[in-house]
Structure 1
Amino acid sequence: MARPVEFDRETVLDAALLAFWKSGYAACSLQMLVDATGLSRQSIYNTFGDKDGLFLAALDHYRAKVSIQCEMIEASDADQNSLRDFIFNSISVQQNLGPGACFIVITAFSPQACDAKIKPALDAGAQRVRSALKTFIRNAALRGEFNPQLSPESGAAHLYAVMNGLSALAQTGGSKEHMETALDLSLQTLFPKTGS
C-alpha cells in the first residue's frame, strides 16, 4: 500500500496563497498550483478535494495571518503609532507578496465572491479587521482620545475604508507622503484630542 505524500501544510498554503493572490482564482490553473506548491495533481485532490478546496484553505490561511497581525492594535496600550504600523505594514505586505491589495478585497471584487462557500469567509476576514479596529477605538475612547460624536463602529468602518484606499493610492502613483497625509487627515478627525 502506497504511503501518503508528506508535506508541510503551512509551506504549501503559503505557496498556493501567493499563486491565487497574484493571478486571481480564474487565471490560476491547476498546473500553476502544482508548480507553485510542489504537490502533484493527485496530492492536491487527495488533500484539498479540488481547486476550490485549495482556494478556501488558502483563504483561511490568509485570514489566520491577518488575525495575528490584528493583535498588535487590540492591546490596551496600543497607540496611534501602533495603528500606523499596522496599516503601513499591511500595505507593505500587499505590495511585497501580493499584487498591491488585500487578498480578501481582491477576491471580493471577483466572481468568486458570489460563491456560497467563499462569501462567508470573505465577510469573516473583513469583519476580523474591522473588529480589531473597533477594539483599538474603544480603548482610545476610554482614554478620552476618540471623537465622541462618532461611534466605534463608524470609526472602524472608516479606518477599514482608509486602509484599502491607501493601498489603491500606493498602486496608482501616490507617494508615501501622500499616504501619510491622507492617514493624518483621518486620524485628526477620529482622534482630535491627540492629533496625529
Structure 2
Amino acid sequence: MSRPRAFDEESVLDNAMNIFWSKGFESTSVQDLVNETGLNRASMYASFGDKKALFLRVLDHYSLKISTKRFADLREIEDGRKAIEKTFRDTAKTGCKEGRHKGCLIVNSGMELAPHDPETAAIAHQAFRRVEDMFVAALSRGIAHGSISSDKNVRALARFFAGSIQGVQLMSRRGADQETLEDYTETILAALN
C-alpha cells in the first residue's frame, strides 16, 4: 500500500514552472527545483521522474493554467476584432507588468530547446497551432460581425498573428519597455484594417 503524497502537486508544479520560466531548462539545476518546490530529491524523482520529465509536466501545467487564461478573450469575446485587439494589448501590457519580462514559457522553451529536443519542439508546435486556430476562429467571427473585411486570407492572417504574439512575448523577455511593446502591437493590429 502506497503512502499518500504529503505535498500539493499543483503548488509543486507552480513553483517548478516559475523557476523554469525565469531561468530556462538548461540553467535550472535539480537543486534549484528542490529549493523552489520544497521537495527532497527522492520525492521529486519518485513523483515526477527526472528533470526533463518534470519540465514536460510543467509545460502541460503552464498550457492549462497560463496559456488558457492568456488567450481566453480570443475564445470568449463575440466580436473577433475586439478579441484580437484586446489579446494583443493585454499581452503588451502584461509583458512589462511588475518588471516581469518573462515572456511565455512555451515560446522561451521552444527557442531554447526545440532545435535539438523533439519532445519540446512538438509541444511548441502544438501550442502554436492551437493559438493559430484561436486566431482563425476570432477572425472568422470578426468577418461575420462585419468588423473585419471579408477579403482577408484568414489562415495566413492567423499565422501572422500567432507568430506576432510570440514576437511580443520575446520582446518582453528581452526587456522591451511599455512604449516599444505598444508601438509594436499597434503596428501588428494595423493588419486588421
Structure 1 residues 52 and 172: alpha-carbon distance in aligned structure 2, compared to 1, 3 A threshold: closer
* Displacement of 1:156: 1.2
SS class of match (2:182) = helix
| 8 A Cα contact 2:74 2:134, kept in partner | yes
* Displacement of 1:130: 1.6
Compute the RMSD of aligned alpha carbons.
Answer: 2.6
Q: Distance in 1 between matches of 2:137 and 2:159?
A: 12
Structure 1 residues 44 and 105: alpha-carbon distance in aligned structure 2, compared to 1, 3 A threshold: same
Q: Distance in 1 between matches of 2:55 and 2:173?
A: 25
* Displacement of 1:150: 2.7
Larger mean Cα displacement after TM superposition, 65-74 or 131-140: 65-74
User: Unpaired runs of 5+ in structure 2?
Assistant: none
- 2:120 alignment partner in structure 1: 118
* Displacement of 1:43: 1.1
Q: Distance in 1 between matches of 2:103 and 2:56?
A: 18
Matches within 5 A, 1:113-192: 113-170=115-172, 174-190=176-192, 192=193
Tell me the percent identity: 26
Higher relative contact order (CA 8 A, sep 6+): 2
Q: How many residues align?
A: 191
> Which amino acid in the other structure matches residue 16 of structure 1?
A
Q: Distance in 1 between matches of 2:165 and 2:148?
A: 18
* TM-score, length basis structure 2: 0.83
Q: Distance in 1 between matches of 2:56 and 2:92?
A: 23
> Which amino acid in the other structure matches residue 180 of structure 1?
E
* TM-score, length basis structure 1: 0.82
Structure 1 residues 29 and 71: alpha-carbon distance in aligned structure 2, compared to 1, 3 A threshold: same
SS class of match (1:90) = helix
Q: Distance in 2 between matches of 1:69 and 1:175?
A: 20
* Displacement of 1:173: 6.6
Structure 1 residues 87 and 6: alpha-carbon distance in aligned structure 2, compared to 1, 3 A threshold: farther
User: Unpaired runs of 5+ in structure 1?
Assistant: none
- 2:25 alignment partner in structure 1: 25
1:127-186 Cα shifts (integer Å, max 9, x gaps): 222211111111001123323343211111111222232334445675434433333333
Q: Distance in 2 between matches of 1:171 and 1:40?
A: 31
